[in-house]
């Protein structure tokens, strides 16, 4: 029987690598194998900033992919953590009398951290992408005006 608390913690901590999907559905889960792709692209964007600086246009497109993927996994952790035991049993296909899906302090702490850090990462990703976009637009406008 799969634990709701473990699933929430895996989605929050290692969700960007698909760990929660593999935990729930096994290594045959296709979406679990696709989750590392935007993660790797975002890490590559961070490496481009380190190599080429903040003016690299590709980096301000790639870096938010990492943030949005993490925020989506944090949201997934919140959804799993807030599921009622009845919904968890129905979602996992367990019998109604199974003793799984209970909410413990570990689940609550996973939800709190997911909300706190996930929202911060999401807002930071949005701010970074919009800031870079508008700075790029200002540079283009200056070039057109000269």
> Each residue of 34-77: pLDDT tens digit?
999 999 999 999 999 999 988 888 888 899 999 999 999 999 99
pLDDT of residue 98: 87
The 10s digit of each residue's pLDDT in 18-38 is: 999 999 999 999 999 999 999
- pLDDT tier at 3, thresholds 50, 70, 90: very high
Q: Is the pTM of this model over 0.85?
A: yes
CB 67 within 8 A of CB 121: yes
């Amino acid at each position: 029987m799969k634990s709701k608390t473990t699933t929430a913690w895996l989605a929050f901590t290692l969700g960007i690598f698909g760990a929660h999907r593999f935990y729930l559905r096994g290594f045959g889960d296709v979406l679990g194998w696709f989750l590392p792709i935007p993660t790797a692209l975002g890490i590559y964007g961070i490496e481009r900033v380190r190599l080429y600086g903040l003016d690299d246009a590709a980096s301000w497109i790639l870096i938010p992919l990492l943030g949005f993927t993490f925020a989506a996994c944090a949201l997934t952790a919140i959804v799993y953590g807030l599921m009622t035991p009845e919904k968890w049993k129905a979602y996992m296909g367990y019998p109604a009398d199974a003793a799984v899906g209970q909410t413990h302090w570990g689940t609550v702490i996973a939800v709190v951290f997911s909300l706190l850090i996930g929202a911060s990462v999401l807002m930071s990703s949005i701010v970074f992408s919009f800031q870079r976009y508008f700075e790029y637009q200002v540079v283009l406008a200056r070039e057109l005006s000269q």
